[in-house]
């Protein structure tokens, strides 16, 4: 017997879809992921304090918020498997999904909620020194002894970059925020915090052309985007915060994607190009990308799937 609904992904969107689908007696099966596309629980697992998720006036730690969502979904009856889905077959029906262990599961409807992962700078020197002073997660790695009381850099100008820079001020002697333009993309409140922080020094109009170091990072070769001038910036650590890529490779072109690889959904719904397949959260959101909007679209996907199952299959 096929599953009625398989949900792929365990961030706020996948878990909210699981909560709603469980309460609708759909008895969903959710694949939490394992090592592809970030850790189970999604990006909030590598976030410190979340101040803007409604219902927590004193903020809540990202991992605790995710643990609570998971607990709520399990309590309502959702079954979970901690494995990556490696491929799907949307031409067959019921749909087939195959996990990393090679097992294939079938389902009447699917919700794709696989989120997005941090982008990395496409430089050979970055690959060579990755993990040797270069990271894409200040919250995970910033407290390491090698970074204590050292001068560190964060690359990017969005909310993530600003959040990471502020986080690193707890450990670093100085934090350089390196941005390719002369204006931050981050929200105003975050901009104010970083612009007024005594330990943060913003380097405007700069890109990293090379990560320099033998066994570990020792400096960054920067290029001024306005003048073309090159400078060297000695730092013990660099944290990339240059945005995200959606986790859609496993779909192998079976759903319509935009030019950046995000799943295209119909306006005001989670309906994708394949009948019976719904998408929720960051994997289909290039605009808002917040925990609360991801959760909200997970709710929409569960409702869309429930109605679709009822209308098409009468179940």
| Interface positions with ligand NDP (CB under 6 A) | 52, 121, 155-161, 163, 180-181, 185, 207, 241-244, 289
Nearer to ligand NDP, 88 or 242 (CB): 242
User: In 97-118, which positions are buried (b, 16+ CB within 10 angstroms) versus exposed (e)?
Assistant: bebeeeeebebbbbbbbbbbbb
Residues identified as active-site:
137, 140-141
Nearer to ligand NDP, 88 or 294 (CB): 294
Cα–Cα distance measured from residue 2 to residue 104, given in angstroms and rounded to the nearest whole number: 11
Ordered alpha helix ranges (H), 37-187: 62-75, 124-129, 138-141, 159-168
CA 233 to the chain's CA centroid:
29
Does residue 160 sit in helix, strand or coil?
A: helix
Q: Minimum distance between the CB of residue 238 and ligand NDP, rounded to whole angstroms?
A: 12
Q: Minimum distance between the CB of residue 220 and ligand NDP, rounded to whole angstroms?
A: 12
Q: Minimum distance between the CB of residue 266 and ligand NDP, rounded to whole angstroms?
A: 22
Cα–Cα distance measured from residue 25 to residue 304, given in angstroms and rounded to the nearest whole number: 14
Nearer to ligand NDP, 141 or 163 (CB): 163
Cα–Cα distance measured from residue 43 to residue 4, given in angstroms and rounded to the nearest whole number: 28
Looking at residue 115, what DSSP letter applies?
A: -
Nearer to ligand NDP, 102 or 188 (CB): 188
Give the CB-nearest residue to ligand NDP.
Answer: 158
Q: Minimum distance between the CB of residue 242 and ligand NDP, rounded to whole angstroms?
A: 4
């Amino acid at each position: 017997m096929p599953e009625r609904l398989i949900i792929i992904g365990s961030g706020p969107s996948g878990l909210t879809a699981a909560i709603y689908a469980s309460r609708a007696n759909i008895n969903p099966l959710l694949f939490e992921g394992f090592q592809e596309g970030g850790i189970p629980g999604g990006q909030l697992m590598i976030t410190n304090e979340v101040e803007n998720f409604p219902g927590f006036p004193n903020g809540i730690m990202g991992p605790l918020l995710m643990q609570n969502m998971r607990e709520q979904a399990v309590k309502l009856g959702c079954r979970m498997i901690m494995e990556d889905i490696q491929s799907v077959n949307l031409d067959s029906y019921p749909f087939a999904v195959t996990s990393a262990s090679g097992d294939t599961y079938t389902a009447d409807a699917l919700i794709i909620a696989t989120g997005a992962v941090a982008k990395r700078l496409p430089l050979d020197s970055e690959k060579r020194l990755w993990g040797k002073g270069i990271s894409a997660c200040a919250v995970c790695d910033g407290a390491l002894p090698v970074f204590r009381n050292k001068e560190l850099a964060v690359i990017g100008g969005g909310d993530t970059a600003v959040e990471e820079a502020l986080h690193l001020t707890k450990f670093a002697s100085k934090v350089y925020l390196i941005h390719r333009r002369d204006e931050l993309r981050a929200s105003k409140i975050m901009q104010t915090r970083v612009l007024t922080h005594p330990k943060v020094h913003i380097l405007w109009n700069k890109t990293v052309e090379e990560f320099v170091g033998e066994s570990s990072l020792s400096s960054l070769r920067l290029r001024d985007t306005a003048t073309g001038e090159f400078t060297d910036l000695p730092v013990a650590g660099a944290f990339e915060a240059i945005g995200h890529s959606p986790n859609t490779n496993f779909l192998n072109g079976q759903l319509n994607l935009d030019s950046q690889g995000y799943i295209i959904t119909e306006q005001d719904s989670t309906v994708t190009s394949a009948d019976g397949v719904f998408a929720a959260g960051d994997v289909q959101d290039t605009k808002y990308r917040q925990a609360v909007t991801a959760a909200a679209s997970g709710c929409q996907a569960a409702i869309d799937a429930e109605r679709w199952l009822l209308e098409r299959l009468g179940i």
